[in-house]
Amino acid sequence: MQTRLRKYYELMEERPKLFRFSDLITIETDIDVILEYEKTTGREIGVVYQSPYSTLVVDLIRREDGGYYTYERMLPTVESGAVVVLTKCQGKFVLLKQFRHSLRDFQYACPRGFGELGIPAEENAKKELEEELGAKMIKQVRLGSVIADSGMNGNPVDVFLCEVDGVVEKCGYEGIKSVIMLDEAELEQWIREEKITDGFTLAAYGLYKVRA
């Protein structure tokens, strides 16, 4: 069996919730059907790419009329622990001006990070603040969780509101250009002007407004 298919069936065993039944979008798991589909279409099914951070899965979906099509989804390689950190320092919100490879452009955004093995979300939030802002956390509140793009991405991310004692511009680290500090009125003005378009940051601020 191809490695991508072996990993696919291992993923089914390890994380069965990802493969729970729905009569609206039914995942075909019969290996003979999958192999025949691959043979006739040239398309690959299973775990087609995996890094320490992301796993790209291609599922074979069975239509009501008996036909098939493929559906891609990006999953976190580590199941939990990903974080977005809405950060405040001296009463102001802290954003990173950061170059994002997927856009090939800069965005203003909250610090965030993928989940890592053995690190709970609370500790990961603290670690991201230290790595991206050189900041020591003095208070932490969990606001909830978000999924940025459920059409493609199956990654629940925990959102924290954290207060820090100070920040350091770590220019060049993970594409960081500078650190921006805005009061609440300025932040909302930037949102209205569409200077802030990062979905995680907008979701984090939305949770803050209703829960903090």
Q: Model confidence over 109-145: pLDDT tens digits?
A: 999 999 999 999 999 999 999 999 999 999 999 999 9
Give the per-residue pLDDT at 105: 97
Q: Are residues 102 and 54 in the same domain?
A: no
Residue by residue, DSSP assigns 44-76 as --EEEEE-SSEEEEEEEEE-TTS-EEEEEEEEE
d(CA 119, CA 116): 6
Q: pLDDT for 49-98, tens place per residue? A: 999 999 999 999 999 999 999 999 999 999 999 999 999 999 999 999 99
Q: What is the pTM of this model?
A: 0.89
> What is the per-residue pLDDT across 4-47, written as a single tens digit (0 to 9) for each?
999 999 999 999 999 999 989 999 999 999 999 999 999 999 99
Same domain, yes or no: 54 and 116: no
pLDDT at residue 155 in the model: 84
Q: What tokens appear for 208 in the block?
A: 């803050």
Contacts of 68 (CB under 8 A, 6+ apart): 28, 33, 37, 60, 61, 62
pLDDT of residue 51: 96
Cα torsion at 178, 183, 185, 190 (round to 10°)?
10
Distance CA 117, CA 76 (A): 11
Which is higher by pLDDT, 14 or 169?
14
Q: What is the C-alpha radius of gyration for the chain, rounded to an integer number of angstroms?
A: 20
pLDDT at 212 > cutoff 80: no
Structural domain harbouring 130:
83-211
Per residue in 187-199, pLDDT tens? Answer: 999 999 999 999 9
Residue 183 to residue 93: CA distance in whole angstroms: 6
Residues 175 and 87 in one domain: yes
SS3 177: strand
Is the predicted pLDDT of residue 152 greater than 90, yes or no?
Answer: no
Boundary (domain end) residue, out of 27, 42, 76:
76
Q: What confidence tier does 178 reach under pLDDT thresholds 50, 70, 90?
A: very high
The answer to whether the CB of 160 falls within 8 A of the CB of 140 is yes
- Domain boundary residue, one of 42, 76, 110: 76
Domain boundary among 76, 100, 126: 76
Q: How high is the pLDDT of residue 148?
A: 80
Q: What residue ranges in the chain does DSSP mark as E strands?
A: 26-27, 46-50, 54-62, 68-76, 83-89, 92-100, 105-109, 112-113, 137-146, 157-164, 176-182
